[in-house]
Chains A and B, each alone.
Chain A
Amino acid sequence: MLSLTLILVASIYFPGIIAKVKALTSGRKGPGILQPWHDIFRLFKKGSVYSTSSSFVFQIGAVIYFSSVLVAALFIPFEENDALFSFTGDFILFSYLLGLGRFLIILSALDVSSGFEGMGANREAFYSLLIEPAFFIMFSALAMFTGYSSFHDIFVNLHYDNYFSIMIAVIAGYVLANITLVETSRLPVDDPLTHLELTMVHEVMVLDHSGFDLALIKTATNLKFVLFSTLSANCLIPQALALWERIAIFLVLQIAFAAGIGWFESFRARNKMAMNAQYILSVSAVAMVLIFVIIIIKNRI
């Protein structure tokens, strides 16, 4: 339960920090750290407007999206024996669960018969198709390195005891960071603050969601963010430290990660839409490098 608590705690300040850092770098004072959650809670209490062309799929889409992310969160370990679910190959189920949510949110977008939302749905399906290999290659590389194939066992057995294995940490960190950005629709693939529907990916899919459903979607997106950053943190936190030290490192790492994203987004422009496919595929290519590094370390050639 510790990891779930930490994920929830981190997700409270994570989106706020990104917004704050972006505001500060552009010379504004910016909203408070808790403003994003304040908005979400207000949404939960609001009424909804449904498109006349929508159906039951639209009604259940947001709920299933949120549930899938919530269940996926139960897979993430923090400490030994901590993840609620841990078994051989659990990262496959983790990824496919996120797939369930994605499928339903795409269908909800297609349900309202709008050209814009169709566009967003199409891009979401396309980009997630391209990013999934990176996630799988990376974790099967780590499985190859450690000899285990569940999140928990992989992280427990991930020791950086020689110079080669530091390379693994660097590459894995890079790949995971990029996966996080693509999966949560941030720059440089998608800009959540863009004002033009034609250039949106995730935001344009949820144009017609309102009230309770929109709040669920926003909550899920925030959770998803922390899910992936927790995975990165698990790669980085040394096992030898005491529990409170690790928790402290974890929370600081999350702040650093959020601030890093805010900083990165302040200075990076969004990719041209047509460039996105190439950019995302390059992440998988880097993940392939990880495989070869491990093959070399393990003397398989």
Chain B
Amino acid sequence: MVTVFNLALLISFGVFFLPKKWKYPLCVILHVFLVASTTSWAIQAFTTDGLSIPLGISTWSGPITMVIDRLSAYFILIINLICLCGILYAGGYLKPYMSKKRAVFISLHLFSFLWLHGAMLLVTTMRDGIAFLLAWELMSLFSFILVIFEGQKESTLKTGINYLLQMHFGFALIMIGFLIADNQTGHLSFDGVASYFSTKKNILLFLIFFAGFGIKAGFIPLHSWLPRAHPAAPSHVSGVMSGVMIKMGIYGIFRVVSLLQDNLMAIGTIVLVIGIVSGLMGVIMAIMQHDLKKLLAYHSIENIGIIGMGLGIGILGKAVNDETLMILGLAGALLHNLNHALFKSLLFFTAGNVYYATHTVNMDSLGGLVKNMRYTSIAFLVGALAISGIPPFNGFISEFLIYSGILHHLPLADFSMSLVSIGTLLGLVLIGGLCIYCFSKAFGMSFLGTRRSEITQQVDEVPKGMLVPAVVLIGLILSIGLRAPFFGGLMVDILGQFPGINPSNLIREEISRSLTMTSNIHILLIVIIAALVLLRVWAQSRVKVATGPTWGCGYSAGDFRHQYTPTSYADSLRQIVDPLIDYQRNYKSFTEREIFPPPKTFHTESKDLIEEKTILSWVNLLTKYLPRAGVAQSGLINHYLIYPMVFLLILGLLTFLNVI
């Protein structure tokens, strides 16, 4: 199996030398190689206690070994699933580009996609610091290449560079974290971090790692790359990036959290608060968007926030010695990784279908797609329901685990923990309600009603091949909703391998009991709906069913302009969250003199206030003042000769004064 894995990565270079039409099939085969080898290891890791596989390659810090425990195995399975769906989807999505793009760009894209897959697999299995950082860097580089697939557009290229810079900032933080641990313990690895945590104060090192991994995951206020990069990338890439690549940040945080020893109260509270803020701000910003893919990108931040909330209460549970709270919180966070990977990639793939068919993802000019793209809209609807945490789909299960953890703890909590618990609960409820608001908007505006712009071309359903990944993902989404106890038990099994966690049978039974009830109710719900649909068909077969124009209070000459738009739908919420967003509206009203007014335009935009306050304000200051230093660059050789002279003089003076 090791040979298969290595061979797949090695053969991938062959993509560059093949004729155009063979590149894609080769890539699919190589992906299958990667999936086959690592999935077999992951399944072994679940049945045994874990395994380590030497890859037969060395870095300067020693041979590279894959260490797979259950946590790694779980993430490997998610990566394999979503990457496989991604490459299958890419087959259809890239078809129009095959003739437009030069062969070398196509090969580079496919090659990077494969290597992103490989690099993520390595990230989840490397324990040695150097190897981990190398894998992390490979992941960032190849995802950068994937983002700038349409690099002929200047905005895409700019986004890509922004992405690359932010990723390296995160990389630097993670490296600093490892170096601190190395400096104190002599091990540049996760073991070093573990022994650092057992001897020194935990909070500083944890926060460094949390910031480093948090940039990848997209926690607010480190999120600003996310809403730019996801819309710029092609849809199969956004699906994989949002579905699994940002989860690598979560994986890193989980790995570090599993090693924590003290300062748990403070760490838990910080993670929890950042989680709540990310969740709420993510979904509020999502509601304000017009661009379907940008909306989905902000939703990734929201879901990462939910994962953060689960993690936070899990850590707090450990801090207050409530095992049930800890396990339910962590299990909810862990399961939400899988859930989010499933529905978010489904949503990005279907958004890609919309782009494929209509060449736009701007909701202001979409609408009515449900009539022409029936299967795509069903897939999007399932994704929308699942991401809003609505039963009988999977999103509900992970949120339910987090809720039950909090509810279990409430009667036992002291004053501060009561407030924290109620705050978390409130956050989750508000996120749930806002999600319904947001996805009724996203689905309603893009797929329902009638088209919100003059129709220029016929819209058709995408080729069948592009719907295959959606079918797979919907199947899994439903199976988690209907077989929840199995997945809940799996999460507890994974957590059982964390140092210091021994889930008792009582907790297992409790989780299994409520999840069994939940799943049964889901099944009952589906049965009742099916029965009612049949009853309805029967009832309507006996009466007259007609079609007619929509009721417009007697006015039937209205056209698509009478419908609600994304802006107006979001407006009632905007009025109460106005201080949190930077909402701009461009409209000049009619003046008295305009007897025959020309066509008017109306433009609204919501900018990211947090990004502006935290990053852009500093960058703007720099770009304002740094050019003043340009005075020194006068272009005269005599000036340039003075500079080293002055430098040497200062150096001499400082030496003379014994300063240096």
Contact = CB atoms under 8 A, between A and B. Distances in A.
Contact of A89 (B367, B381, B407, B550): B407
Contacts of A97: 391, 525
A118 B547 contact: no
Given A122-B572, A129-B430, A129-B437, A103 B388 contact: yes
B400 A140 contact: no
A133 B388 CA distance: 16
Contacts of A147: 411
Contacts of B490: none
Contact of A71 (B421, B436, B440, B521): B521
Contact of B536 (A63, A96, A119): A63
Interface stretch (A29-37, A51-59, A158-166, A173-181): A51-59
Contacts of A188: none
A103 B439 CA distance: 9
A110 B449 contact: yes
A125 B528 contact: no
Contacts of A208: 550-551
Contacts of A50: 545-548
Nearest to B417: A300
A146 B421 CA distance: 16
Nearest to B429: A136
Contacts of B576: 277
Interface residues of B, number: 83
B533 A60 contact: yes
B521 to A, nearest CB: 6
Interface stretch (A10-18, A20-28, A41-49, A228-236): A41-49
A149 B404 contact: yes
Contacts of A96: 389-391, 396, 432
Interface string A252-287: 000000000000000000000000010000000000
A88 B404 contact: yes
B331 to A, nearest CB: 14
B273 interface: no
B514 interface: yes
Contacts, number: 248
Contacts of A301: 415
Interface of A is mostly: helix
Contacts of A110: 440, 444-445, 448-449, 564
A118 B563 contact: yes
B543 interface: yes
Interface string B514-548: 10011011001100110011001001100111111
A71 B569 contact: no
B436 A99 contact: yes
B494 to A, nearest CB: 22
Contacts of A277: 572, 575-576
A144 B563 CA distance: 45
A14 to B, nearest CB: 22
A64 B530 CA distance: 9
Nearest to B527: A67
A113 B549 contact: no
Name, among A68, A70, A129, the residue most crowded by chain B CB atoms within 10 Å (CB to CB): A129
Given A52-B549, A113-B449, A67 B532 contact: yes
A114 B429 contact: no
Contacts of A295: 415, 418
Interface of A: 44-57, 60, 63-64, 66-68, 70-71, 74, 85, 87-90, 92-93, 96-97, 99-100, 102-103, 106-107, 110-119, 121-123, 125-126, 128-130, 132-133, 136-137, 140, 143-144, 146-149, 197, 207-208, 211-213, 216, 277, 291, 295, 300-301
Interface of B: 367-368, 370-371, 374, 377, 381, 385, 388-391, 396, 400, 403-404, 406-408, 410-411, 413-415, 418, 421-422, 425-426, 429-430, 432-434, 436-437, 439-441, 443-445, 448-450, 510, 513-514, 517-518, 520-521, 524-525, 528-529, 532-533, 536, 539-540, 543-553, 558, 560, 562-564, 568-569, 572-573, 575-576
